[in-house]
Structure 1
Amino acid sequence: MLYPTHQSESVTQICLFRWAKFMEGQYPELELMYHIPNEGKRSRSAGARMKQEGLKPGVPDVCLPVPRSDYHGLYIEMKVDRNKPTENQKHWLGALKRQGYFTAVCYGWEAASKVILQYLGGRP
């Protein structure tokens, strides 16, 4: 496994969404892909408010709500360097998989783009 070390997770996701925008001509459904902003440092009060609004730790970073093959949609947890999924992230990935979603952990935007193309091609 290659672990990109030159980019932060934020930069990696920016690259992924730039790639997706470029690929929308070939795959219009990429317009529906979105980032779930669960990470980040917040004040105690902002964190409490966001939890009341429905924020849940461990939800994957990226969602493509487009059915393919036997799956309802795709969720991707983005990682950089040698970071591993947390226990909350593992829980969410497993729970979503049991509900009929394809899930993946991707190290770098290039890996995520390959998973997305395979998914959209019906070969996850």
Structure 2
Amino acid sequence: MKRVIPARRRTAAHAVYVVPEDAEQAHLIRWARLAQPTYPELARLFHIPNGGHRNKIVAAKLVGQGVRPGVPDLCLPVPRETFHGLWIEMKSMTGRTSPEQRDWLAFLAAQGYATAVCKGWDAARETIISYLEGRFIQ
């Protein structure tokens, strides 16, 4: 597996393509649909469309409808062990959480939810499986 070097440290000799966060998340959702026979709870996994670039009119409408910066990307509202549900912040392999995202994740964890920051769809898949099988550690 190639080592991913953050963009600010890349040189032409080290350039590595990083799959964008939205593509990683789309891979995860495809896996979740295919894995529903094994984990039927995955039918309840949903995306919070907070991120992305929008024009000012659409952005203003969404804020008026309750969009809040930093809310994690995915929610699985299925209780397991001592948790009320699972919230996941998806990141590309080089992505970082914002202060607003860290604040939301801390708040949700304090409310009894499992939370995770997952770099890539495979990490998110492993997190979801461990959560559904009762092996998740906060």
Give the TM interval when normalised to the shorter protein: over 0.9
Mean Cα deviation higher: 30-39 or 6-15: 6-15
Larger radius of gyration: 2
Q: Higher mean Cα deviation, 25-34 or 39-48?
A: 39-48
Post-superposition Cα deviations, 1:65-101, rounded to whole Å, max 9, x if no partner, equal 0000000000000001322100000000000000000
SS state of the match for residue 105, structure 1?
Answer: strand
Residue pair 2:18, 2:94 contacting (<8 A) in 1 also: no
Question: 2: CA distance between counterparts of 1:31 and 1:41?
Answer: 28
Matched, 1:97 2:109: yes
Query: What residue ranges of structure 1 are gaps of 5+ in the alignment?
Result: none
Give the superposition deviation at 1:6.
3.2
Pick 1 or 2: higher relative contact order, CA cutoff 8 A, min separation 6. Answer: 1
Identical columns (%)? 46
Q: Which deviates more, 27-36 or 75-84?
A: 75-84
Structure 2 residue 3 is matched with structure 1 residue 10? no
Runs of 4+ in 1 over 2 A off after TM superposition: 2-6
Q: TM-score, normalised by structure 1?
A: 0.95
Q: How does 1:25-104 map to 2 (within 5 A)?
A: 25-104=37-116
Aligned residues of 1:13 and 1:109 also touching (Cα < 8 A): yes
* TM-score (ref. length: structure 2): 0.85
Distance 2:93 2:107 in 1: 25
Match of 1:112 in 2: 124
